[in-house]
Amino acid sequence: MTISLEEVENFLKDTGGKIDMNKKPIPYLYLDDETGQPMLMNEKCTIFFSETISILRESLHRVIGEGSELVLRVVGRDMGKKYAQLVMKQFPELEDVSKITQIHELCSIILRNTGFGKIKILELDLKKPFFKAVIKDAPSCLNFSSQPTTYNLEAGMLSGILGRILGVEMAVAECEYNKEEDNYEVTLRRVAE
């Protein structure tokens, strides 16, 4: 399936910056529900955004060493906040649903649509200062061979998304790779005010 530039421009012009939910969305980058395969415009995708992140990680590590992972957490947090703002701007009705649902929706939408993987939330209680989730089908680590697998950028993204929704600063407390299941367990903690 191909979409002309004119069709995209018309779509954007028609929406006026907001998504009309009665119209079919333009197909975009996402992970196939069954296979986890990245898809773009309904076709299998071989080069995707997360590939760029792998290269960025490697370059950063080469320049500043171990501190690069901390930098990636900060970059990820800012990305997560920005993506959350963009989704909320496109779908203002999301402000009307509960914070719990907002967290589930935004984390899932943003990770899937940027090609970072699927999220399963393990612990989410707004009264507690921490949040725990597992991220799977994450393609960003696949071609990153020279450094041990980490997931700090994506964990940072989650902290940014939660920070935007809850209006508090969230920090990455732990980010562990589970080699057997090929997934990542991320723990975020509310920063003391």
Partner 1 sequence: MNVIDVRGDICPVPLLKCVREIKKMKKGEMLTVISDHPPAKRSIPIEMTEQGHKFKIYENGPEFKIEIVVN
Of 131, 129, 109, nearest in space to 119 by CA? 109
> Out of 2, 13, 14, 24, which residue is the one contacting partner 1 (CB under 8 A)?
24
Site string for partner 1, 56-95 (x = CB under 8 A): -------------------------------x---x-xx-
Count of residues of this chain found to bind partner 1 when the rule CB under 8 A is applied? 20
Site string for partner 1, 89-128 (x = CB under 8 A): --x-xx-xxx-xx--xx--xx--x----------------
Contacts for 28-35: CB closer than 8 Å, 24+ residues apart: 28/113, 29/113, 29/114, 29/115, 30/112, 30/113, 30/115, 31/112, 31/115, 31/117, 31/118, 31/137
Show contacts with partner 1 in window 29-58 (CB under 8 A): 30, 33
Show contacts with partner 1 in window 165-184 (CB under 8 A): none
Rounded CA separation 170/96 (Å): 22
Report, in Å, the least distance between residue 14 CB and partner 1: 16
3-state secondary structure (DSSP) of residue 92:
helix
- Decide if residue 21 touches partner 1 (CB under 8 A): yes
Report which residue type is found at 21.
M
